[in-house]
């Protein structure tokens, strides 16, 4: 492999004030101006983007109820073999905060802003992704999805690390990176990436939130030492590690192995049809082309959006394991040939924007 085949994935845009918060009403318009958007019926679409507390409360309320119930069972099962399946269920549900925190960062689930913010920061802590930093990072990811030098959230840079994705079935690689980021940001000196996309006016929030996260984690450690038991950590922090397998199974299907440097989400993003349990845990983020193309649509309306645009998109993958059946060979091939990528076939006659320059192709 020659040096020319390696790309520099460091961010090169150093204007953080150019970022736009994902919950502002003009965000979708700014994305649509740069990216290909499937044609939709505008009247139906306006209905889809209406925010409502009721459906969000039903879905997120059910998740919280299941989390609490599994936690109570796990607590009373502690010290018996029944604790193993009980904590396994608790860990999976706890780690599902990753997907809820992701969706809540957009500000779309709830009409009532404080509900959205309260649950966003709760889920952000549970997944160890400090909320203020993540919101700006994720803004950049949506604005420049898999654009090298612009997107700070490219999970599989080329040539890919084939060990890291499997370590993250236990949140080991990403968890280490999150702790390192928290400690760096807590000093008041943001990470180099963060300096690219967090505006000066928002950096104080990142610093203090990082310090709060670390203080809570330290408090959990002190609690464990004081009572001579790991039990408190089994409920706070550690579940993201021992329960993270499904979250990684879901998350890595989003973009890995697909095209870089294109302005068409149908070419760099996957939609995967999942069973109702997986879709619930994943907060419907399996409809990921739909989510990226129209980020103001609440997660509970994404199945409807999928029906509206599916004729203009590549066929969805029939399940997470089908997607991984493509991803694993793709990562191995990209180790040898970083320029190669999975090419998604669009329906015959469908238009595509196939380059950063916005050139149209049939």
69-86 pLDDT tens trace: 999 999 999 999 999 999
88 preceded by cis ω (within 30°)? no
pLDDT in tens, 149-198: 999 999 999 999 989 999 999 999 999 999 999 999 999 999 999 999 99
Angle between the 97-104 and 131-143 helix axes, to the nearest 10 degrees?
A: 70
Question: Average pLDDT of 194-216?
Answer: 97
How much is the CA Rg of the chain, to the nearest whole Å?
A: 20
Give the pair of three-digit tokens for residue 240.
Answer: 């993201």
Q: How confident is the model at residue 347 (pLDDT cuts 50, 70, 90)?
A: confident
Q: Is the pLDDT of residue 307 over 60?
A: yes
Indicate the burial class of 98 (C-beta count within 10 angstroms; 0-12, 13-18, 19 or more). buried
pLDDT of residue 34: 76
Mean of all residue pLDDT scores within the chain: 90
Contact present, 320 and 328 (Cβ < 8 Å) = no
pLDDT of residue 12: 82
The sign of the dihedral angle between the CA atoms of 317, 329, 171, 206 is: negative
- pTM to 2 decimals? 0.90
pLDDT of residue 275: 97
Q: Is the pLDDT of residue 221 over 60?
A: yes
Contacts of 109 (CB under 8 A, 6+ apart): 51, 56, 60, 103, 116, 298, 299, 300
């Amino acid at each position: 492999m020659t040096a020319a085949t390696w790309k520099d994935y460091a961010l090169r845009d150093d204007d953080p004030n150019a970022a736009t918060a994902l919950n502002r009403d003009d965000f979708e318009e700014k994305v649509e101006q740069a990216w290909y958007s499937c044609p939709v019926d505008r009247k139906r679409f306006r209905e889809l983007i209406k925010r409502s507390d009721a459906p969000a409360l039903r879905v997120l309320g059910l998740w919280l109820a299941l989390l609490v119930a599994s936690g109570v069972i796990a607590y009373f099962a502690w010290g018996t073999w029944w604790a193993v399946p009980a904590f396994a269920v608790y860990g999976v549900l706890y780690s599902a905060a990753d997907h809820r925190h992701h969706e809540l960062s957009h500000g779309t689930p709830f009409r009532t802003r404080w509900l959205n913010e309260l649950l966003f920061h709760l889920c952000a802590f549970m997944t160890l992704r400090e909320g203020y930093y993540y919101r700006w990072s994720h803004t950049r990811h949506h604005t420049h999805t898999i654009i090298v030098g612009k997107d700070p959230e490219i999970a599989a840079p080329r040539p890919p690390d084939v060990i890291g994705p499997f370590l993250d079935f236990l949140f080991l690689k990403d968890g280490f990176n999150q702790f390192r980021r928290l400690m760096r940001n807590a000093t008041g000196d943001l990470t180099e990436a963060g300096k690219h996309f967090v505006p000066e006016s928002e950096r104080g929030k990142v610093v203090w939130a990082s310090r709060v996260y670390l203080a809570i984690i330290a408090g959990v450690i002190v609690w464990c030492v004081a009572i001579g038991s790991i039990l408190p950590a089994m409920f706070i922090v550690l579940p993201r590690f021992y329960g993270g397998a499904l979250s990684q199974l879901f998350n890595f299907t989003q973009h890995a192995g697909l095209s870089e440097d294109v302005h068409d989400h149908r070419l760099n993003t996957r939609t995967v049809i999942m069973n109702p349990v997986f879709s619930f845990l994943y907060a419907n983020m399996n409809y990921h082309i739909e989510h990226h193309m129209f980020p103001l649509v609440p997660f509970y309306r994404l199945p409807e959006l999928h029906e509206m645009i599916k004729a203009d998109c590549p066929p969805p993958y029939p399940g997470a394991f089908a997607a991984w059946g493509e991803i694993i060979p793709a990562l191995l091939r990209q180790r040898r040939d970083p320029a190669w990528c999975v090419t998604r076939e669009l329906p015959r006659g469908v238009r595509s924007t196939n380059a950063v320059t916005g050139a149209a192709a049939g």
